[in-house]
Amino acid sequence: MNQEMMKNTLMETLGMEVVKASKEEVIMTMPADSRTHQPMGFLHGGANVALAESAASIGAFLNVDPEKQQVFGLEINANHMKSIRSGFVTARATPAHIGRTTMVWEIRMENEQGDTVCLSRCTIGVVPAKK
């Protein structure tokens, strides 16, 4: 997974960047700025969820053969624990379960001081690729 693949996507629109992407861990960053703020000037919870699902989906994609399988988010939850107005949020996604038809990823998002901003869990479905 590289930045080029993120062109013309939600991830590019929100300013997300991949720092690390492997089968065991995905690290991404996203700015807290006008692209990701809610009307009161804080990082939007939905932007956190978009970051979490993006990181989980990249990790899931790296765990399948894309010639034979595709991955899609089935369910996501998020607990928002701290608000931020500026800077960056960093997401670290790790697999809790890698199965044949589903995966579960845990995503911890932190501010630049290392405080937990959001905890999320995302279930990914693995389906045969359409030919």
Structure tokens of 125? 């479905």
Catalytic residue status for 110: no
Question: Pick the catalytic residue: 12, 17, 25, 53?
Answer: 53
- Is 81 within 8 Å of 117 (Cβ atoms)? yes
What's the Cα-to-Cα distance from 86 to each of 41, 45, 111, rounded to whole Å? Answer: 9, 14, 9
What's the Cα-to-Cα distance from 8 to each of 1, 32, 73, 96, rounded to whole Å? Answer: 15, 20, 20, 30
Catalytic site positions: 53
